[in-house]
Amino acid sequence: MTLRARVLLMSAVAQRRGTLRRAFQTRAGFPHGVERPGTDLTREAGESGRRLEETVRERTAELEAANAKLSRSLEQLHATQAQLLFADRLIALGRIAAGVGHEINNPLAFILSNLEYIHQELQQKEQLPERERQEVLEALAETRDGAERIRLIVRDLQTLSRSEDVGSGPSDVGAVVRTAAKMAMHELRHRARLVVECDGVPPVQGNGSRLGQVFLNLLLNAAQAIVPGQVEVNEVRVVAREAMPGRVAVEVRDTGCGISPEHRERIFDPFFTTKPLGVGTGLGLAVCHGIVTSLGGTLTVESAPGQGSIFRVTLPVAGAFAQPPRQLDAAV
């Protein structure tokens, strides 16, 4: 290649490089003929990176503050819920206090009477005839039975008023319902016959204390829906059965006044009550609904004015007692 040809080739390459540089600058938004030094690009990239890091730090701090506030609110909500549950138990205790006092006073009266009789007999006579000896033994047996009744009443009260839940495990529905029925009997005995059919069902997964609170509230509500004085025509029936594989249903049925449709829609709302001021707080059924749902169950109601009510509680069977679903035999 001659020298002239080489000069022409180098000139063409330089022109092509200039054309490419101008096209790149135009595409990047720089005016023709203005070149941007590499140091400016590096400096601006660093500043953009720092601004981005600062923005990320600010957003992270805001998110951490919001998360901490949410955690505190959740802790306060849990504490309020626990206080609400215990307050409802105390309300239930207040509703049955008069009846429990009566239940305790009855056995206590004949305990004291029998002890006085035994004391006098033993002081007056060194050796008792057989007939009087039998009377003393009978008095001692009655005293023992009365003391046992008081012990059971106090135990039931302690179970209901326990402020701390002891965890969840297998619970005997029949035993829980019978304990609640004894606590509610002072409200029921002058209003309706009580029938309990809760045998033969598997244990449910739950907490005996909390379930007792549920059934006590349902029984007290059933009693208060019935006018006193007509025991022979009114009934409160508690029936437990296996509703479906892995579930137990407990129904509390009454022959009371029933619930109107507009009230039935709000029956589980907190603080909703149809009772006179000072009689009901509107917390009982709302708390019952919360307890049952927290245990993985449901609480529903069927009612109509003048036709009584059915409150249905469904609960999961305790894991160790759950039966696997039956499989249909294949057709041969």
For residues 184 and 263, membership in a common domain is answered with: yes
pLDDT for residue 235? 95
Calpha distance 107→118 (Å, rounded): 16
Task: Answer with the one of 139, 164, 189 that is the final residue of a domain.
Answer: 164
Calpha distance 46→312 (Å, rounded): 68
pLDDT in 10s for each residue of the chain, 332 residues: 565 666 566 666 566 666 655 655 555 554 544 445 555 667 777 787 788 888 888 888 888 888 888 888 887 777 676 666 666 665 666 555 556 666 676 777 778 787 877 777 777 776 778 787 788 778 887 887 777 777 766 665 665 555 445 467 889 999 999 988 988 888 898 999 999 999 889 999 988 888 988 998 899 889 989 999 889 999 999 999 998 888 999 999 999 999 988 888 888 877 667 665 545 556 678 888 888 988 899 999 999 999 999 999 999 998 745 555 444 333 32
Is the residue at 147 inside a domain? yes
Task: Answer with the one of 146, 164, 182 that is the final residue of a domain.
Answer: 164
For residues 110 and 203, membership in a common domain is answered with: no
Choose among 301, 316, 312: nearest CA to 207: 316
Do residues 204 and 318 lie in contact, with contact meaning Cβ atoms separated by under 8 Å?
A: yes
Is the residue at 37 inside a domain? no
| DSSP line for 26-54 | HHHTPPTT-PPPHHHHHHHHHHHHHHHHH
DSSP annotation of 318: P
For residues 155 and 105, membership in a common domain is answered with: yes
For residues 157 and 272, membership in a common domain is answered with: no
Is the residue at 246 inside a domain? yes
pLDDT for residue 223? 92
For residues 313 and 180, membership in a common domain is answered with: yes
Is the residue at 40 inside a domain? no
For residues 311 and 176, membership in a common domain is answered with: yes
Do residues 181 and 219 lie in contact, with contact meaning Cβ atoms separated by under 8 Å?
A: yes
How many Cα neighbours within 13 Å face the side chain of 40? 3
Range of the domain at 116: 92-164
For residues 178 and 315, membership in a common domain is answered with: yes
**Which CATH number is 223's domain given?**
3.30.565.10
Is the residue at 195 inside a domain? yes
* φ and ψ of 279, to 5 deg: -100, -45
For residues 242 and 305, membership in a common domain is answered with: yes
Task: Answer with the one of 114, 136, 164 that is the final residue of a domain.
Answer: 164
Which tokens in the block code for residue 180? 């609640």
Do residues 170 and 321 lie in contact, with contact meaning Cβ atoms separated by under 8 Å?
A: yes
For residues 139 and 183, membership in a common domain is answered with: no
Domain count, the chain: 2
Is the residue at 200 inside a domain? yes
> In 10 A of CB 316, how many CB atoms?
15
Count of helices and strands (H, E) across the chain: 7, 7
pLDDT per position as a tens digit, 44-67? 777 877 888 888 888 888 888 888
Residue type, 161: S
pLDDT for residue 153? 66
pLDDT for residue 98? 53
Q: Give me the residue label for tokens 């109601």.
A: 301
Do residues 308 and 253 lie in contact, with contact meaning Cβ atoms separated by under 8 Å?
A: yes
Is the residue at 262 inside a domain? yes
Which pTM was predicted? 0.54
Is the residue at 71 inside a domain? no
Do residues 287 and 217 lie in contact, with contact meaning Cβ atoms separated by under 8 Å?
A: yes
For residues 229 and 305, membership in a common domain is answered with: yes
234-267 as b/e: b if 16+ CB within 10 A = bbbbbbbeeeeebbbbbbbbbbbbbbeeeebeeb
pLDDT for residue 198? 92
For residues 98 and 190, membership in a common domain is answered with: no
For residues 223 and 105, membership in a common domain is answered with: no
Do residues 184 and 178 lie in contact, with contact meaning Cβ atoms separated by under 8 Å?
A: no
